[in-house]
Structure 1
Amino acid sequence: MIRAYRAELLSVPHDAPDAVRHEPDGLLVVEDGVVIARGAYPDLADKYPDVEMLPGLVVPGFIDAHVHYPQTDRIASYGEQLLDWLDKHIFPAEKAFADKAHADAVAAFFLDELLRNGTTSALVYPTVHEQSVDALFEAALERRMRIVSGKVLMDLGPEGLQDTVASGRAETEALIRRWRGRGRLGYAVTPRFALASSDAQLADAGALLAKHPDVLMHTHLSENVHEVAAVAARFPDSADYLDAYDRFGLVTPRSVFAHGIHLSDRACTRLHESGAGVAVCPSSNLFLGSGHFNFGQADRHALRLGLGTDVGAGTSFSMLRTAGLAYQAALAREDRLDPFRALYLATAGSASLLHIADRVGALEVGQEADFVVLDSAATPLMERRTEGADLATRLFALQILGDERAISRTYLLGECAYKRTP
C-alpha cells in the first residue's frame, strides 16, 4: 500500500552532517513502510495525487543513543552524584526486574513514553536479568519499534544484581539466538561499566563481541570524576578509562560509550582511530553534577557522536529537550551547537552510532519511514516565539522550549503510532 504525506520536510543527511535537506512544501511517499520518493510537492504531485496533509514540521524519528528503561520509575531521584545515586536509588529499583511481570509493565510504559516524545529507535539498557531483555524486546516487537539492547553484565554487582562469567555468557548467547533477526531488533553486549565486571567478565565480553559481528557493545565511559578515579585505582596499569576497556577488546567500530565527559586527548585519538563513538547525555550529566561534554575536544578529534536522554539520571524522555540542553552544555564551554547539528545528533548521528544509518535517521529513499510531526505552536509561548520566524529560529525554539507537547504525531514504518490528544 502506498501512502503519500504532504508537509514541510526537514532532515540532515547521514553522509553530510553540515548539510540540510529541507522541502518547505514537500511530499514523502511510503510503500510497505519504506520511503520510495521524497521531494518538492509540485515535482511529485502528478505521480501521487492522493495525499494526506500533515500540519507541522516533519523530521526523522528521534533516535535515543543511550537510555535505561528500568530506571523509568526512579527519574527525579534526589541528592546524589553517580556512584552514590546508583547505590541509593538505582540498584534497589533494578532488583525488581527479576519479576517478569514487573519488567513487562515497565517496558510497555517506557516504549509508549518514547513514542509520545517522538523517539522511534533507541539503544537501551535493561538489567542483569535475562527476562528484562525479553520483556523489552517483546514490547518493542509488538509496537514495531527499532530497539537495540542486551543483558547487563555485572559479576561484581551488588547482591541481587550479580551474574557470573559463565551465566552472563550463557544468557547473552541464549538471548542472541532468541532475538537475532526478529522484527527491527538488535543486540548489544552490555557490560554495565568497568567497575561492575571482573577482568574475566570484561575479557569474556570482548570475546562475545568478536564472535558476533552483528552486535554492538554498549557501556559507560568517563562520566563522573569519582567514577574515573575509582577506575584508575582499579586498573593502575591502564593509560586511562578507555584503555581499561581497550585491553579487553571492547573498543571497536561497534562500541557505543555513553557520556565521555572526562576524556584525555589520548583516549579521543584512540576513539577516532577505532571508529567507536560517544552518546552525549547532557541532561543526566547536569542532573548528577558530572560535568559538561566537551564538543570542542570531540570535534578536534572528529569523534562519532549521537545523543541520549539517559533516563533515569536524565530528567526527560524528550530528545527535543535533550538537544536544547546539549546546546547549553556546549555554550558552557564556549562552543556553539547549531540547531541543525543538534537535529543531526538526535537522528542521523545516533543512527550512525547504532549502525542503523542504512535504515533510519534521514528519511531518504530506501529508508524505513519513521518520522515525527512537530508543532511549533504547541504552547502559547512557542507559538509567539516562532510566528514568522525562519527555519533555524523555529527549530532552535523547538529545542529550547519544546518537549513532548511539541510532538503532534509519531509514525513507525509510515503508520501513525502516536497522536497527541487535544
Structure 2
Amino acid sequence: MSARQISLKSVALVQALVLIAFAVAIAVDARAVTDAVSQRLLDETPFEKVPIPREQPLVVEPLYDRPDFVSDEDLAAVLRQVRPQFDREQMKPNYVEHALRGWGVRAKFANPDIPSGEELALFLTDHARFSDSWGKKAQPLLIDRPQGIAIRWGRETGASVHHDHWLASLTEAGISRDTPVYGPARRDMTIGDVVQESLRDFRLDERETEWTAMAFGLWLPPTRNWTGGDGRQYSFDLIARRLMRGHKEKGVCSGTHRVYSLMLLIRLDDEFDILSDGMHAEVYGYLEDVRDAIIAAQFEDGHWPSNWPEGAGAVENPVDDPVYRQVIATGHHLEWLAIAPRDLHPPDEQIRRAAEWVIQTTVEQPTEDILARYTFYSHVGNALALWRNTHPADFWMEWVETHPDAAATEASQESDETTAASSSVDGT
C-alpha cells in the first residue's frame, strides 16, 4: 500500500471522527455548540459575566401578620401536611424544588425519614447525590457546559419540569452564591456560575419566564440591564412585558405564577428601581386587573377557580374543576397577596374565606393525596406562613419544640407512612 493511500485513509478517518464528535456535541448541548461556533466563525463578542452584588439572594418579606386569617394551630396543621415526606429513591426534582422554596435550606425534621433542607439542596446541586437516588444509568439533572452548569428541564423522567425553576427555587430557599454545584464532570462550579449560565442562556421568546424573572430579580438588583449570550440587551422591563403578554389564564398554574413574579418585581422595584416608571405603572395596572377579577370570581365557600380571569363569569358559568385545581388557584393567589400592598387586595373577608377554605381542604387530604399533588399543596403552606409573617421552617421547628405532642408524633412516625412521591402525579 502506498504512502498516499495511507495518508488519504488517515485524512478520511480524522474527518469522520470530527463529524461524529460534532454530532455528539450537538446532541448533548446544541445551544452551547451553536454559541461557540457563532463566537468563532461570526466573530461575536463572548458573553461577559453580569455582576452579582451579593453573597445571599434578596428576600421579599411578607407585609402582614394576620392570626385572624391563619391561627397558629391552623398553620401547624397545614405545615404538618406539607412536610417533604419523599421516598429517597427517584426523588422528583420538581417536588424537591417546591419543597425547598417553601421550607428552605435550613429546614430540619425530627423524623429521620423526612429529608432536611440541606439534604434536598444537595440532591439538586450534587450529581453524585442525584445518582444515588436515580441510579448511575439515569440521565443527569446537571449538564456540564464549557461555560458552566445548566439544568436539564422538561417532561422527561428525572428532569426539572420548568426552565429556571431549579434556580429560582434554590434562590428562594436561601442558597448562597458560593454554594458548590457538582456536575457529572465539573467540580469547580457554584450557584453563582449557574446564575451566569442562565443569564447567558436566556432568550426572551421562551415559553416560560416566570422563574427566570424571580431568579434574576433576587440576585441582580440594582442592575436593571444586561447583555445576554446572544448579544442582545435585556432588562427587567422586557421580562415584565413578556410576563404580561397573552391571556391571563394560559400561564403556568392557571396564570398565577406570572402574577407572583410580577408582584415580586414591583416590590424589588420599590427598593432598587429596576423598572422604568412607565413599566412600573403598567405592571401595577395589570395587578389591579387581577385584583378586580378575583374579587368577582370567588365562590361562596372561599375558593378561586382555574378560570378566575373571567371574573364574575367564572361564578356564573362554573367549570368542572377537580379540587387540586381549586387549590392551585386559591393557594397561589393567597401567596402573591401576602407580599402585595393593601390596595391590591380584595376585601379582608374574601381573603379570610379563601384562607379558611384552603386550610380545611389541605388538612382533610390523606398523606398520599398531598404527596401526589405536592407541588400545588406546597404553595398553601408557604402562603399561610407568609400571612403570619413567618417562614415554614422557623415556625415548624419552634412549634415542635414547644408542643411535646407534635414532637413525639413527628419523631415516632413509622417509615411506611412516608409515601413515595416518585410514583405520584407530576405537578407544575
The two structures have a TM-score, normalised by structure 2, of 0.30
CA radius of gyration, larger in: 2
- Higher percent of residues as helix: 2
Which of 1 and 2 has higher RCO (CA within 8 Å, sep 6+)?
2
> Could you state the TM-score of these two structures normalised by the residue count of structure 1?
0.30
